[in-house]
Structure 1
Amino acid sequence: MAGTDGFDYRHLDVRVEGEVARATLNRPGSLNALDTLLVTELRDFFSRLASRPDIRAVVLGGAGRAFCAGADLKERPLGEAARSVADVLAQQRSIRDVMLAMRRCPQPIVAIVQGAASGGGFALALAADVRLATPDARMNAAFIRIGLSACDVGVSYFLPRMVGSSVASELMLTGRFLDAQRALVLGLVSRVAPLDELRVEAESMVADMLLASPLGLRLTKDALGLSLDAGSMETVIAMEDRNQVLCAVTEDFREAKAAFVEKRAPRYRNR
């Protein structure tokens, strides 16, 4: 389906309205499984966001009854003839680059997860900044159930940092599903509610994000990501100091203060 504002895709439906891009995996008949084309389109979309300052936030979802069932095994069946190491590595990197692009793009990403989020779909959800889940959402590191390692496309990086090493080990060594309520208790998702309510919540959340200055929002995502691997509290505070100094000298900072005092919506100029 054709997208808008320069994003013209077949399996990823992208609609840009104002400062928000809504990206929907659009292969509902295959539970939005990741075929080669969808992977290519996801990678292209998230990679291009760095050069789109007009887009300030992203809502990511899946069409139909599932968020994403993982790799499309029908496109490349298990047990196919052996390929070269170089070919397999290129395919592996094509998928993992989607998650890298999601973390590198300056826009916060809110993922709405309904139904299955397995394997690569689980990784997509983890790579988002905020996750909202329907009551029927089920997530798992499915890789280990098809003869692979569960450590794939960022899952072994994100999951222990989000839920701790014991729960991460349980889920990754067994391939067990994590249901929505347990994910909420663990802090992996921010809210569990019916899909229509989550869509409203995502819009409300994005609207609150847009009250932040453009630079403040970008630098907050940047520093939050870097703080995961920071070696000390001093390192994190140094990043925070940098962020505040950079924001404090902008026109948008002065506008934000004025808007707060005058009890009105800010009018940012990204300066």
Structure 2
Amino acid sequence: MAELSMHDHQQALRHYQPRHFDWQCSEDGRIATITLNRPERKNPLTFDSYAELRDLFRRLPYASDVRVVILQGAGGNFCSGGDVFEIIEPLTKMTMPQLLEFTRMTGDLIKAMRRAPQPVICAIDGVCAGAGAMLALAADFRLATAEAKTAFLFTRVGLAGADMGACGLLPRMIGTARATDLLMTGRSMSAKEGLDWGFFKELFPPEELHARAEALARSLADGPWFAHGITKTMLNQEWAMGIEEMIESEAQAQAICMATQDFRRAFEAFAAKRRPQFEGN
């Protein structure tokens, strides 16, 4: 019986064929770009696009090629949230079990984004509202333009600001008082506020946004990407830990990284005064 390799469980995703958004990969397959492509409606999500995004992010831990994901919108806007007529109106006619199935599905997308080992970069221009704001919040990096307007609009339609993890994620990023303001009023956070509060990493002119996102993605994809995945895992796990558990968990995580060939390659490159080549093993 042939020996089973762990690589047999992996799959290349560079040729993935999406149904409800655009998907492109760099020539080496390391950088994938998801583009929400309904610009005439400011790129809203539908039941189908929610589900496909959830399923795609669930597959990413098993990707043999993709190391970084860029998420963006077409036509000068990021995402206007759930489509008013394709999601909001049908929700008003659903039973409680159906509603719970939907809200759990949207939350599953956020969980899948956080669990994917690949860093996720959101490139945000124009409208970034409702579920779109939650996609941005779930990402690891957010680059934006000065025209970006981010709003957690749930109260505007009579719902709680507690949606898709907003009440847990947003206060940790920008502070409880600021999160309370945004989640209760539904007002837009300006790009400058987002930058000052740490929501956005940097602001760029619209014509530079995608190139800047690609440059960041390339630096991460060519870096110690196995270790980046460990860092992301620890950022997620340590939220609910005490200091003893944190330090022990990081001791284990770092020992794992020290056992990789990437760690040895980095030392040898440093000693030889050359740039290291990381292979993720």
2:223 counterpart (212, 220, 239): 212
* C-alpha distance in 1 between matches for 2:90 and 2:280: 52
Deviation at 1:191, TM superposition (A): 0.5
1:247 counterpart (253, 257, 269): 257
- Answer yes or no: is the 8 Å Cα contact 1:117–1:140 preserved in 2: yes
> If the length of structure 2 is used for normalisation, what is the TM-score?
0.89
Does residue 15 (structure 1) correspond to residue 27 (structure 2)? The answer is no
- Answer yes or no: is the 8 Å Cα contact 1:58–1:108 preserved in 2: yes
Over the matched positions of the two proteins, sequence identity in percent amounts to 36
- Answer yes or no: is the 8 Å Cα contact 2:82–2:88 preserved in 1: no
1:166 counterpart (168, 171, 177): 177
Does residue 61 (structure 1) correspond to residue 54 (structure 2)? The answer is no
- Answer yes or no: is the 8 Å Cα contact 1:108–1:128 preserved in 2: yes
| SS of residue matched to 1:21 | strand
| SS of residue matched to 1:74 | helix
- Answer yes or no: is the 8 Å Cα contact 2:222–2:278 preserved in 1: no
* C-alpha distance in 1 between matches for 2:78 and 2:237: 27
* C-alpha distance in 1 between matches for 2:91 and 2:108: 24
In structure 1, the gaps of 5 or more residues are: none
Matches within 5 A, 1:1-150: 5-17=14-26, 18=28, 19-78=30-89, 82-150=93-161
* C-alpha distance in 1 between matches for 2:232 and 2:280: 16
* C-alpha distance in 1 between matches for 2:255 and 2:90: 56
Cα-to-partner distance string for 1:157-216 (whole Å, 9 max, x where unaligned): 111111111111111111111010011000111111112322222222222223432321
* C-alpha distance in 1 between matches for 2:126 and 2:204: 12
- Answer yes or no: is the 8 Å Cα contact 2:225–2:278 preserved in 1: yes
> If the length of structure 1 is used for normalisation, what is the TM-score?
0.92
Give the direction of change, closer, same or farther, for the CA distance of 1:79–1:270 in structure 2 (3 Å limit): closer
2:235 counterpart (224, 230, 244): 224
* C-alpha distance in 2 between matches for 1:240 and 1:23: 32
2:193 counterpart (165, 174, 182): 182
- Answer yes or no: is the 8 Å Cα contact 1:7–1:45 preserved in 2: no
Q: Give me the CA root mean square deviation.
A: 1.7
Give the direction of change, closer, same or farther, for the CA distance of 1:36–1:82 in structure 2 (3 Å limit): closer
Deviation at 1:65, TM superposition (A): 1.8
Aligned pairs, how many? 267
Q: Residue 261 of structure 1 corresponds to which residue in structure 2?
A: 271
| SS of residue matched to 1:23 | strand
| SS of residue matched to 1:107 | coil
1:152 counterpart (146, 163, 179): 163
Mean Cα deviation higher: 7-16 or 171-180? 7-16
Cα-to-partner distance string for 1:62-97 (whole Å, 9 max, x where unaligned): 111210000001114548763221111111122111
Deviation at 1:126, TM superposition (A): 0.1
